[in-house]
Structure 1
Amino acid sequence: MTDEIRIAIIVNPALPLGLLANTAGAISIGLGARVPALAARRLTDRHGRTIDISSSLPVPILQAPADTIRSLLLKALLPSQDYAIVPFPAFARSLHDYRAYEAAFPDRDLAMEEIDGLGLAGPSKWIKSLTGSLKLLR
């Protein structure tokens, strides 16, 4: 990834608050795992207390309906680039074991799935081209 990385998380505002928070949290973990430079740092205060940072970049949480999120996902996947693309398909919520999700995923078609959220990390221009018209979640 280039030095000028930008992050965006897009969620469906129609989700109940708890599911919205869960979706954003799960996507954030995926982005951090895919691009460790986003948060793989520690800071120490003057008394020697060390913490892990939350993010080295702003993390805007944007809103869009599920069909728009799915469309953004499919656009993001078109050019096979080295960008972080972390979707949260709605069907994943019914599976409480990652192994079940992993087993079910190959039989799914992302173009037909409802997508509750999407995390993107990559060059600023790419992120803006996909999310520039979206509003912040309020």
Structure 2
Amino acid sequence: MPDALSAPADPAKVAIVLAADLAPGPAANIAACIAAGLAASRPDWAGRALVDASGWRSVSSSHVPITILKAPVTAMNALLRRLTEGPAQDNGRISLFPAYAHAIHESSEYWHRHGLVSHAEEPMLGVGLVGAKRWVSSMTGSLPLWR
């Protein structure tokens, strides 16, 4: 049985791909929204309740590095094709931030709209992936780091 204080099993790799033309503020917000979605899908990854020596309560951040990459429109479209045409990945998770989501401020409205749209051809501002290193790497290819 694992020690109660040991870190949980890590997802092998996490990557967030952002549209290359995003300004820094929206890029940071979109990356944070995607990371929150990915972390919520893998509760063993982040959010562990913590208490420090003075009793201050907090939750853990990700103990897994999150690589932030950028993609011009053509590369983002190619990524979407690979994700929709490739085989499903066991334990892999994807979080999408379509362009239309930027103007939506109610989660129920987003969830409704999401179900009405086929996202394979939808303009994306960001895509997050978590799963086996080989799968995430094959999806993201040689996209450059966000700088």
TM-score range, shorter chain: 0.7 to 0.9
1:66 aligns with: 73
- The 1:21/1:107 distance shift into structure 2, 3 A limit, reads same
- 39-48 or 17-26: which moved more? 39-48
- 1:79 aligns to what? 87
TM-score, with structure 1 as normaliser: 0.86
Cα deviation, residue 86, structure 1:
0.5
Q: Which has the larger radius of gyration?
A: 2
| 1:32 aligns to 2:39 (yes or no) | yes
Sort the Cα spacing of 1:61 and 1:114 in 2 relative to 1 into closer, same or farther, 3 A. Answer: same
Aligned partner of 2:21 in structure 1 is: 14
Q: CA deviation at 1:126?
A: 0.7
Deviation, structure 1 residue 4:
5.4
Supply the distance in 1 between the matched residues of 2:16 and 2:124 (Cα, whole angstroms).
12
Are 2:108 and 1:104 aligned?
no
Contact 1:66 1:116 in 2 (8 A): no
> Number of residues paired by the alignment?
137
Between the aligned residues of both structures, percent identity stands at 36
TM-score (norm: length of structure 2): 0.81
- Offset of 1:14 from its aligned partner? 0.6
Distance 2:105 2:55 in 1: 39
Compared with structure 1, are the counterparts of its residues 25 and 3 closer, same or farther at alpha carbon in structure 2 (3 Å cutoff)? closer
Deviation at 1:105, TM superposition (A): 2.0
Check the 8 A contact 2:10/2:64 in 1, yes or no. no
Inter-partner Cα distance in structure 2 for 1:126 and 1:74: 14
Extract unaligned runs of 5+ from structure 2. 1-8
C-alpha RMSD of the superposition:
2.0
The alignment partner of 1:54 has SS state of coil
Q: Is the 8 A contact 2:17 2:68 kept in 1?
A: yes
Structure 1 unaligned residues grouped into runs of 5+: none
Q: In structure 2, what residue type is equivalent to 1:86?
A: S
Deviates more, 1:63-72 or 1:51-60: 63-72
Give the Å deviation of 1:71: 2.4
Q: Distance in 1 between matches of 2:141 and 2:116?
A: 32
